[in-house]
Amino acid sequence: MSGSASSKAPVRSRLLHESTLELIEEDKETSSNKENFSGEIIPMRKFMLSDFDIGRPLGKGQFGRVYLAREKKTGFIVALKILFKSQILKNGVEHQIRREIEIQTHLRHPNVLCMYAYFYDDEKIYFILEFAARGELYKALQKHHHFDERTAATYMAQLAAAFIYCHAKKVIHRDIKPENLLLSLTGDIKIADFGWSVHAPSLKRKTMCGTLDYLPPEMLDRKTYDSTVDLWCLGILCYEFLVGNPPFESETAKETYSRIRKVQVEFPEHLSDLAKDFILKLLQKNPSDRMSLQEMLEHPWIEKNAKTRSK
Q: List residues with catalytic annotation.
A: 175
Residue 131 annotated as binding site? yes
Residue 100 annotated as binding site? no
Contact (Cβ atoms closer than 8 angstroms) between residue 62 and residue 92: no
Residue 295 annotated as binding site? no
Residue 179 annotated as binding site? yes
Residue 81 annotated as binding site? yes
DSSP codes joined into one string, 198-231: EE-TT--B----EEGGG--HHHHTT--B-THHHH
- Alpha-carbon span 2 to 177, nearest angstrom: 12
Residue 136 annotated as binding site? no
Where is the binding site, in residues? 81, 130-132, 179-180, 193
Where is the binding site for ATP, in residues? 81, 130-132, 179-180, 193
